Amino acid sequence: MGRTIEKLFRAPYGVPNALQEVEEGLWITDQITDRVALVEIAEPSEYGVTKLIRDIPSESSNTSGMAWDGNSLWLAANGNGSLWRPVRDTDAEKGLGDILEIDPQTGATRNRYPVPGGGGVHGMECDPFDAGYLWITTLKSQTLSKVRV
């Protein structure tokens, strides 16, 4: 049985690498610029895009993973961004990763935590049953970790 992939709309960034649906729309993070966009979930315009609700900067780097707890966005920074751009002071260290809690209105970093065991993350989710915890894929140790934040 074959599967069909349907293109719904064009992302506002060139390298989208994290998605999170919320009541207001869909958050999309760019892996190169580490900017985060909130877009409408709607039919795309004649240009193939949906309405941009908000676009915010972040201190994340090489972002790959995002979660929403109803108050904050959580971004997974997978080391520095040296493959894509000049390294910033706020980038995670090469070979290590950070989890950033950011303000969804401004992009300001509220908290920053190291990835358990270091390395990258390629998925995370807020625990829907146990508030204050994130589930994080830790690639270096190839584990799924439940982390109190």
Q: Tell me the mean pLDDT per 10 residues along the chain, length 149.
A: 84 91 96 95 86 96 95 94 92 91 98 89 92 90 89
Closest among 63, 80, 67 to 121, alpha carbons compared: 63
Question: CATH says 16-120 is which class?
Answer: mainly beta
pLDDT on residue 47: 84
Closest among 56, 144, 74 to 113, alpha carbons compared: 74
Could you state, in order of their start, the residue ranges of all structural domains in the chain? 16-120
Cα dihedral sign, 145-116-29-38: positive
Q: Give the C-alpha separation, 56 to 10, whole Å.
A: 18
pTM of the full predicted structure?
0.91
Enumerate the β-bridge partners of residue 138.
143
